[in-house]
């Protein structure tokens, strides 16, 4: 009996003390200055699905031996919402890691809570990295209330999406590349009703899309409709054009766009699944030849593994990148673009524990030649070889190459060092010959084509205020109901929507955004 | 004073003796007590300790100041929730799905359990039972893929059949009229088999001689179900009903979050999805906790009420 009681007491004490002991040892190591300092880093992986950086990664030893840092890595979820929830939950428990990737809206919340440390003084401590990654615009992206609260490195390549059309379908039906909304509709109708794939079944549509939205740049119905919205001058959530500043929803042309889109839905020339598709469903659909026009990202379309299923299904199929179509008033844009940054913020806890200098040291090393190639491509001769132009390539390294199934996990941290330089792009998007149709493909060439099209400057959208949940719901729900027909779409109901939107807080949101644009010099001609 | 079975007054048992008896009992069944210790510790750490943190429902929670350091703001978080533009819509949708799931899933689970129990072919029974359990183990992400394949307006199986019959395709997942039914029926499909387990267990406990006697008296299958099976498992049905009422404001976050889209917010947005967007994504943890507390207290009153009502009407209750 006594033994049983002792066991119970021991278990309870162990349960109570273990977490305290675990937390305490880490802080103690940082403060004491003896032995390596532990830095906990939550990072955005290059390919979440590939898995975690292995324990045998040589980087751990190099960082420990050269910098005196015991690096602890945690991979963030790939989905932005999940990332936000993970970070905010950690923030609520004051348990943020030392350094972590965070989106600006979440960063603003964390700053309000006093959970992150300003890093204004850090840039001088890492001159090489700052020169490569942190320009004035980047710093502005991480600035809140006059202080820089994180290290904003270049994110996704901008203007890397485009309007694509099935050239083989155009040729088969004797059609030209559409240049106006009228021609766009004609092509969409032909793709829907004239059996462009010649299989004798009515199973194709003119345009394919899905709802891709977020709170700063891509307002409902989202970026996949941008080429059409661009024809009406309402691409993007915000307009930062001087004289037209504010939410695009207030422009009369937004109503015209909605009428146009609703017409496409009613006529059945847009894939009727588009309101239900998630990203993966949409991508599976174009690879199965369901539609002949779409808005897609360069690598998602042209990278080796992404294009392969389409190549196999349609060896004679061919997509081409086309420029924006012109609307009734001559307006045209492929989409709106903002600068993308990945912000790495430092927790207040880490700064208070005296880890800021070590973090700067770590980041500066990452951008050195040694760190850049190790994080970007792995170990030379094991994960990559240099070609005659000095570009890292897979060579004959097989699975262990940085592109291979076993090697790619060693480059999970590459987003911490990449800045979309020429070497990176040439290495990331090599020219290749497709397996079935033997076509020459290059995601880099596609990228350059897409970037050369007509785009709308919306730089600074990412810093604009976001609406509360009720305003956001009202905005998205009402537009959605117009499209599904649950709410009739006419000038009267549209005005009711705008009035309701203003009343619920939309006007205040718009005014706040316009004030921010004006104060921060974001407006342009 | 306690009265013994013989009707004479029992002599009071000294406290010392009671304690030593208790110790002996615990020592004798120590393995059971050790087993009970694990869930007990789990409940203390994960269920009771967090109750302490629920005070942030009444505070302007600042993570840097901690639970104790954050300033009190009274009922402000509750007011924010109740004054939310969509408050009544959220309540309506949440209750609609909770009650709807109860009304559809519970009877279906009972029917499935009885059907499996009554099945005389062991092979068929096992196959049906396994197939009925299977969807429970699928995540809602996978279920969404299956539902899209079945219900998509362009190439979903259901719409193919509708069009074959001369009808017009319906976008079940984006239509405010059909979306609630998709939620309710897909939930019943996914969870019916799993929920039936408890009823099958109850059925196994029925004395077989009752059925034999009924058959001798000439009762047919339906009469046996009506007069023996259903009354026998009625207490279990009541228990399940009462327990489910406690979570009436939990309408199934995972399912709704996967299935809904802006087009169907009007009938799809529930308290938990609102809390996710307004509470968690906007760092309003005090608000999120206030809503959680609101749900918990509401659920507790419903459980007490249902228990009382059940005792009044059926003489069967949970406590």
**In this structure, is residue A437 part of a structural domain?**
no
What is residue B160's three-state secondary structure? helix
User: Mean pLDDT in chain B?
Assistant: 89
Residue with tokens 């709170």: A215
**For position A23, what pLDDT does the model report?**
40
For A379-446, the three-class secondary structure string (H helix, E strand, C coil) is CECCCEEECCCCCEECCCCHHHCCCCCCCHHHHCCHHHCCCCCHHHHHHHCCCEECCCCCCEECHHHH
Task: Measure the CA–CA gap between A401 and A345, rounded to whole angstroms.
Answer: 31
CA-CA distance, A205 to A322, in Å (whole number)? 18
Provide the pLDDT for residue B59: 95
**Residue A202 belongs to a domain:** yes
* Angle of CA points A100, A103, A107, to nearest 5°: 75
What are the residue ranges in chain A where pLDDT is below 50? 1, 4, 12, 14-31
Interface test with A, best of B281, B285, B286 (most A CBs within 10 A): B281
A507 in the same domain as A367: no
Interface test mutation site (partner A, options B283, B285, B288, max chain A beta carbons within 10 A): B283
List phi, psi (to 5°) of A61: -70, -45
Q: Residues of B with CB below 8 A from A504's CB?
A: 85
- For residues A289 and A370, membership in a common domain is answered with no
Q: Which two tokens stand for residue A229?
A: 């919205």
Backbone torsions φ then ψ of B15, nearest 5 degrees = -60, -40
Number of structural domains (chain A) is: 2
Q: Please indicate, yes or no, if residue A249 is contained in any of the structural domains.
A: yes
Residue B146 sits at the chain A interface (C-beta within 8 Å): no
Residues A464 and A486 in one domain: yes
Q: Are B82 and A112 in contact (CB under 8 A)?
A: no
pLDDT at A208: 98
Q: Nearest residue of B to residue A94 by CA position?
A: B63
Nearest residue of A to residue B258, measured between CA atoms: A278
CA dist A525 and A313 (Å) reads 46
- Which of A209, A224, A276 to mutate against chain B (most B CBs within 10 Å)? A276
Residues A213 and A317 in one domain: yes
Q: Specify whether A187 is located in the same domain as A223.
A: yes
CATH number at residue A507: 3.40.190.10
pLDDT for position B57: 95
Shared-domain flag, residues A43 and A137: yes
Closest by Cβ to A476, choosing from B262, B281, B282 = B262
- Would you say the ipTM is above 0.85? no
Q: Residue B315 — very low, low, confident or very high, per pLDDT cuts 50/70/90?
A: confident
In this complex, the residue of A106, A272, A468 whose CB is nearest that of residue B153 is A272
Q: What is the per-residue pLDDT across B51-71, written as a single tens digit (0 to 9) for each?
A: 899 999 999 999 888 899 999
Q: How far is A481 from chain B (nearest CA, A)?
A: 5
pLDDT value of position A48:
81
CA dihedral A102, B274, B75, B298 (to 10 degrees): -130
CA distance A262 to chain B (A): 13
CA distance, residue A420 to nearest chain B CA (Å): 30
CA proximity to B256, closest of B188, B187, B158 = B187
Residue of B nearest to A475 (CA): B262
Is A312 found in the same domain as A165? yes
Contact B261 A211 (CB under 8 A): yes
Q: Do B176 and A110 touch (CB under 8 A)?
A: no
DSSP state of A104: H
How many whole angstroms separate alpha carbon A253 and alpha carbon A234?
7
Chain B CA closest to residue A485: B175
Q: Tell me the pairing of strands A37-43 and A99-102.
A: parallel
Of A214, A215, A210, nearest to A225 by C-alpha is A210
- Give the integer Cα–Cα distance in Å for A113 and B293: 23
CB A512 within 8 A of CB A228: no
Residue A103, helix vs strand vs coil: coil
Within a domain: A424: no
Spatial neighbors of B260 by CB under 8 A, at least 6 apart, are B179, B268, B269, B273
Closest Cα in chain A, distance from residue B44 (Å) = 11
Residues B102, B108, B111, B112, Cα dihedral to 10°: -120
List, as one string, the DSSP characters of A58-98.
HHHHHHHHHH-EEEEEEEPPSSHHHHHHHHHHHHHTT---S
pLDDT tens track for B128-145: 999 999 999 999 999 999
Cβ-defined contact of B283 to A92 (cutoff 8 Å): yes
Q: Average pLDDT for residues B231-241, to the nearest whole number?
A: 89
What percent of chain B stands above pLDDT 70? Answer: 96
Q: Are residues A469 and A489 in the same domain?
A: yes
**Nearest chain B CA: its distance from A135 CA (Å):** 29
- Nearest chain A residue to B80 by CA: give it: A470
Q: CA-CA distance, A391 to A404, in Å (whole number)?
A: 17
| Beta carbons of B263 and A477 less than 8 Å apart | yes
Q: Does the beta carbon of B171 lie under 8 angstroms from any beta carbon of chain A?
A: yes
Of B33, B144, B153, Cβ closest to residue A273? B153
Residues of B in contact with A351 (CB under 8 A): none
Domain presence at residue A1: no
In a domain, A401, yes or no: no
Q: Which helix (H) or strand (E) holds B285?
A: helix B285-314
**Min CA distance, A94 vs chain B (Å)?**
6
Q: Within this chain, do residues A219 and A330 fall inside the same structural domain, yes or no?
A: yes
Nearest CA in chain A to B279: A469
DSSP-assigned letters across all residues of B170-187:
--TTT-TTTHHHHHHHHH
> Are residues A115 and A237 both part of a single domain?
no
Q: What pairing do the DSSP bridges indicate for beta strands A335-337 and A455-457?
A: parallel
pTM: 0.82
The reported pLDDT for the residue numbered A5 is 53
Residue A93 included in any domain: yes
pLDDT of residue B98: 93
Helices (H), A163-303: 167-173, 181-193, 226-230, 252-267, 279-287, 298-302
Contact: B85, A92; criterion CB under 8 Å: no
Range of the domain at A495: 161-338+456-519
Q: Are residues A258 and A353 in the same domain?
A: no
In a domain, A235, yes or no: yes
pLDDT range class, residue B96, cuts 50, 70, 90: very high
Tell me the residues of chain B between 226 and 265 that have a Cβ less than 8 Å away from chain A.
261-265
CB A44 within 8 A of CB A76: yes
Cβ count within 10 A of residue A35? 10
Residue A506 CA, distance from chain mean position: 26
Q: Which residues contact B75 (CB under 8 A, 6 or more apart)?
A: B58
Number of A–B residue contacts, CB under 8 Å: 132
**In angstroms, rounded to a whole number, what is the distance separating the alpha carbons of residues A401 and A382?**
7
Same domain for A327 and A476?
Answer: yes
Q: Please name each of the domains of chain B with its CATH number.
A: 15-69 (no CATH), 85-314 (1.10.3720.10)
pLDDT at B20: 84
Find the closest chain A residue to B173 by CA distance: A276
Q: Which of residues 81-110 of B touch A (CB under 8 A)?
A: 84-86
Structure-block tokens of residue B154: 């362009």
User: Which backbone phi and psi does A94 adopt, to 5 degrees?
Assistant: 50, 45
């Amino acid at each position: 009996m006594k033994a049983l009681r002792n066991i119970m007491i021991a278990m309870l004490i162990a349960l109570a003390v273990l977490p305290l002991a675990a937390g305490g040892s880490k802080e103690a190591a940082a403060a004491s200055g003896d032995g390596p300092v532990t830095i906990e880093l939550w990072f955005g992986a290059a390919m979440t699905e590939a898995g975690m950086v292995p324990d045998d990664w040589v980087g751990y030893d190099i960082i420990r031996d050269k910098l005196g840092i015991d690096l602890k890595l945690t991979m963030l979820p790939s989905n932005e919402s999940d990332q936000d929830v993970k970070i905010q939950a950690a923030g609520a428990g004051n348990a943020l890691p030392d350094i972590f990737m965070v989106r600006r809206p979440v960063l603003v919340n964390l700053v309000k809570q006093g959970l992150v440390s300003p890093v204004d003084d850090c840039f001088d401590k890492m001159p090489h990295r700052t020169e490569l990654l942190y320009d004035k615009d980047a710093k502005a992206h991480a600035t809140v209330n006059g202080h820089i609260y994180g290290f904003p490195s270049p994110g996704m390549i901008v203007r890397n999406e485009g309007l694509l059309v099935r050239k083989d379908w155009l040729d088969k039906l004797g059609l030209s590349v559409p240049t106006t909304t009228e021609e766009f509709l004609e092509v969409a109708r032909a793709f829907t009703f004239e059996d462009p794939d010649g299989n004798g079944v009515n199973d194709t549509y003119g345009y394919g899309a899905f709802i891709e939205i977020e709170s700063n740049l891509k307002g409902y119905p989202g970026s996949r409709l941008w080429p059409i919205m661009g024809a009406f001058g309402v691409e993007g959530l915000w307009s930062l054009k001087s004289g037209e500043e504010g939410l695009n929803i207030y422009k009369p042309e937004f109503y015209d766009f909605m009428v146009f889109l609703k017409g496409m839905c009613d006529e059945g020339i847009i894939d009727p699944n588009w309101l239900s598709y998630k990203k993966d469903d949409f991508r599976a659909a174009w690879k199965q030849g369901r539609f002949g026009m779409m808005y897609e990202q360069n690598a998602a379309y042209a990278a080796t593994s992404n294009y392969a299923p389409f190549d196999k299904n349609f060896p004679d199929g061919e997509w081409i990148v086309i420029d924006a179509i012109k609307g009734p008033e001559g307006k045209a844009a492929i989409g709106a673009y903002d600068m993308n940054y990945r912000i790495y913020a430092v927790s207040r806890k880490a700064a208070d524990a005296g880890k800021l200098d070590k973090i700067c040291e770590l980041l500066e090393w990452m951008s050195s030649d040694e760190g850049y190639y190790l994080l970007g491509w792995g170990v030379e001769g094991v994960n990559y070889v240099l070609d005659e132009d000095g570009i890292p390539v897979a060579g004959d390294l097989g699975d262990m190459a940085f592109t291979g199934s076993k090697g790619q996990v060693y480059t999970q941290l590459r987003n911490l060092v990449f800045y979309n330089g020429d070497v990176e792009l040439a290495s990331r998007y090599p020219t290749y010959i497709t397996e079935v149709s033997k076509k020459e493909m290059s995601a880099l060439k596609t990228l350059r084509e897409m970037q050369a099209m007509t785009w709308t400057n919306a730089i600074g959208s990412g810093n604009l205020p976001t609406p509360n949940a009720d305003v956001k719901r009202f905005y998205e729900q009402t537009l959605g109901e117009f499209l599904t027909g649950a709410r009739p779409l006419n000038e009267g109901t549209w005005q009711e929507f705008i009035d309701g939107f203003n009343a619920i807080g939309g006007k205040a949101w718009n005014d706040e955004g316009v004030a921010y644009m004006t104060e921060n010099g974001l407006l342009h001609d | 004073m306690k009265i013994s079975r013989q009707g004479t007054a029992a002599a009071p048992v000294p406290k010392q003796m009671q304690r030593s008896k208790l110790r002996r009992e615990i020592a004798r069944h120590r393995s059971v007590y050790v087993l009970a210790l694990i869930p007990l510790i789990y409940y203390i750490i994960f269920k009771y300790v967090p109750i302490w943190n629920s005070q942030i429902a009444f505070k302007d929670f600042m993570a840097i100041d901690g639970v104790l350091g954050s300033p009190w703001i009274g009922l402000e978080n509750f007011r924010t929730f109740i004054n939310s533009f969509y408050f009544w819509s959220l309540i309506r949708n949440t209750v609609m799905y909770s009650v709807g799931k109860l009304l559809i899933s519970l009877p279906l689970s009972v029917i499935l359990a009885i059907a499996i129990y009554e099945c005389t072919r062991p092979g068929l029974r096992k196959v049906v039972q396994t197939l009925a359990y299977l969807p429970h183990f699928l995540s809602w992400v996978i279920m969404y893929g299956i539902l899209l394949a079945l219900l998509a307006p362009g190439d979903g199986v259901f719409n193919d059949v509708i069009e074959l019959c001369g009808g017009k395709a319906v976008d079940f997942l984006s239509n405010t009229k059909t979306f609630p039914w998709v939620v309710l029926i897909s939930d019943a499909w996914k969870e019916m088999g799993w929920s039936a387990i408890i009823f099958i267990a109850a059925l196994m406990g029925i004395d077989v001689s009752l059925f034999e006697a009924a058959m001798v008296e000439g009762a047919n299958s339906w009469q046996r179900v009506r007069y023996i099976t259903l009354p026998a498992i009625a207490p279990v049905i009541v228990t399940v009903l009462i327990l489910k009422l406690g979570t009436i404001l939990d309408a199934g976050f995972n399912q709704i979050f996967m299935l809904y889209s802006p087009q169907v917010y009007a009938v799809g947005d529930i308290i938990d999805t609102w809390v996710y967007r307004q509470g968690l994504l906007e760092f309003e943890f005090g608000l999120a906790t206030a809503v959680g507390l609101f749900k918990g207290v509401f659920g507790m009153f419903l459980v007490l009420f249902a228990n009382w009502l059940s005792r009044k009407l059926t003489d069967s209750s949970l406590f």
